[in-house]
Structure 1
Amino acid sequence: MGTSSQTIAERIQKRMDDLTRAERQLALSVLENYPASGLGPLASLAKSANVSVPTVARMVQKLGYKGYPDFQADLREELSAIAKGPIAKHETWAGAAPSEHILNRFTEAVIDNIRTTMAHIDPVAFDDACALVADRSRHLYIVGGRVTHTLAEYLFLHMQVIRPNLTHVQSTSNTWPHYLLNAGEGDVFVVFDVRRYENNTLKLAELARERGAKIVLFTDQWRSPVHRMADICLTSQIIVPSAWDSATTTMLLVESMISAIQTLTWDSTRDRMEELEELFDKTKLFRKFT
């Protein structure tokens, strides 16, 4: 962003404990419809949050801005970044590309994404998400989008080994009502949604929430609109020198979750693994060299 690589949402979350009661009320109002919430006049934002104009000015300064216009400039830049398609992203990168080899530049970008993501992730929230996904008493639904369905399938494949009572929700929306028919209070939906956010994914999350389900969201630094109804939101930095965003950091979180859940449930997971190996032997699915 204009003054920092952090998004405004990340700044707010980092400074939340330093804000006054009125400022926290304002901050939550901004996050409720982020990032569009701060694009109107200062007085309108104050009115919608039911706080005073000076409260808005003070909070903006606590976030590191000289004034409301600078705050809005960063919001507009975030909106522009969210809206970019692959062609626009490639042209933005290509104009300023250094001469070093793409392997090095891409790797450096991914490492920076990992560092930034790890610096801002809440370990308690991550542990809570793992506990929800590991809980066999809750039916687990895993769903991705046009691109993120590959991450959803990867998580689902491993969860099949670790636990029963789960469903891979296909990314075609005309099948969702059938999945939702069985969803109930306390079930868990793991949702993957990164920019450009998908309307169908948002609708699925809304309907799951209405049925009392818990939602764990994997998203990017700008946060999918699904975050407004998510119980836990795990964000990743995704920008790389490419027309497409990177899934590497999100995959890191997914694989970390798989490892954590395996550890939480090792006794039962080991039994399931042993049974699965017996089935592999019976089906002769894999070649043996001994």
Structure 2
Amino acid sequence: MSQNSLTISDRIQNHLDDLTRAERQLAHSILENYPASGLGPLSALAKDAKVSVPTVARMVQKLGFNGYLDFQTELREELKAKVQDPIAKHDTWAEAAPTEHVLNSFTDAVIHNIRQSLAHIDPVAFDQACALIADKQHSLCITGGRLTQTLAEYFFSHLQVVRPKVTHIQSSSSAWPHYLLDMKKDDVLVIFDMRRYENNSFKLAQMAHEKGAKVILITDQWRSPIHQIADFSFSCRIVVPSAWDSAVTPLLLLETMISTVQNLTWGETKGRIKALEDMFDQTKQFRKFT
């Protein structure tokens, strides 16, 4: 794996165990408002993180950069990547189109995304998030944005079978305030927000957070601004040779979550599935081959 294929966030996560206390403090400060946090002068970054200027210089070198200017150049490239529209993304890939068939190049990109994403997901945090989603003592709300709404609907369709009190919140700002009326402390909001990050999604997450809800964010490798208030944030790599981003890695994460929550609640879930299948039989919704 080449160093250039990693985001600076990836590099920081890979080196956390090798950093000194001051460098780790700096790393967390960078990640808090990533990638914009490193775009100012070196002295400003050191001041914001409450560390010395030499600490910044040392950590930048540990991350594999020749100096702070090199570090900033990479950050600016990442910032450009965050805001690319579909046409710009297509042009980026077209300039370096691979010679092999697209089936191979696309699959290679997806496999790379999966490996990199899984390498940076904390299993403990994953288990804790799934436990929150499984806790039927609290209501569960699920929402997405313009394109990620499809992922939200998929997650909702399964979770409403697995456990009670699950709501799919429509992303329109004229609709979601109604759902916030009944949201209580320690209810759970699962929200999908990937580039280009949506103002409606941030406002919804912020208002839910202010009501005491637990926020679980599914985002991309650059991380939605919602990560600043999320209780759990899971980053999925989404870049492929296409004008659109890939949903394969987020979908893998979702299906793993569904399986985990199902196992945690199986005693009740089994009965819910049986009751649902009985209803399907009565409505004759599905063909039976007997």
Report % sequence identity.
Answer: 65
Cα deviation for residue 18 of structure 1 reads 2.7
Which residue number corresponds to residue 258 of structure 1?
258
Which residue number corresponds to residue 35 of structure 1?
35
Q: How many residues align?
A: 289
Which residue number corresponds to residue 109 of structure 1?
109
1:30 and 1:110 map into 2 onto residues whose CA distance is 27
Letter of the 2:53 counterpart: V
Which residue number corresponds to residue 23 of structure 1?
23
Cα deviation for residue 29 of structure 1 reads 1.7
1:134 aligns with 2:153: no
Q: Secondary structure at the match of 1:4?
A: helix
Cα deviation for residue 273 of structure 1 reads 0.4
Structure 1, residues 168-223: CA drift from partner, whole Å, max 9, x if none? 00011111211111111111110101111111101111111111111111111111
Cα deviation for residue 119 of structure 1 reads 2.0
Cα deviation for residue 62 of structure 1 reads 2.1
Q: Secondary structure at the match of 1:217?
A: strand
Letter of the 2:214 counterpart: K
Which residue number corresponds to residue 94 of structure 1?
94
Q: Stretches of 4+ moved more than 3 A in 1?
A: none
Quick check: 43-52 or 189-198, which moved more?
A: 43-52
Cα RMSD (Å): 1.3
Which residue number corresponds to residue 160 of structure 1?
160
Quick check: 136-145 or 95-104, which moved more?
A: 95-104
TM-score normalized by the length of structure 1? 0.96
2:176 and 2:287 map into 1 onto residues whose CA distance is 38
Which residue number corresponds to residue 82 of structure 1?
82
1:278 and 1:174 map into 2 onto residues whose CA distance is 37
Quick check: 10-19 or 84-93, which moved more?
A: 10-19
TM-score normalized by the length of structure 2? 0.96
Structure 1, residues 114-133: CA drift from partner, whole Å, max 9, x if none? 12112222111111111111
Unaligned runs of 5+ in 1: none
Which residue number corresponds to residue 237 of structure 2?
237
1:139 and 1:255 map into 2 onto residues whose CA distance is 20
2:3 and 2:134 map into 1 onto residues whose CA distance is 40
Structure 1, residues 100-122: CA drift from partner, whole Å, max 9, x if none? 22222211211111121122221
Instruction: For 1:203-214, list aligned pairs within 5 A.
Output: 203-214=203-214
Which residue number corresponds to residue 268 of structure 1?
268
Letter of the 2:109 counterpart: A
1:125 and 1:227 map into 2 onto residues whose CA distance is 14
2:267 and 2:47 map into 1 onto residues whose CA distance is 55
Cα deviation for residue 34 of structure 1 reads 1.0
1:121 and 1:111 map into 2 onto residues whose CA distance is 16
Unaligned runs of 5+ in 2: none
2:46 and 2:102 map into 1 onto residues whose CA distance is 46
Which residue number corresponds to residue 47 of structure 1?
47
1:249 aligns with 2:265: no
Q: Secondary structure at the match of 1:235?
A: strand
Task: Tell me if structure 1 keeps the 8 A contact 2:221–2:236.
Answer: yes
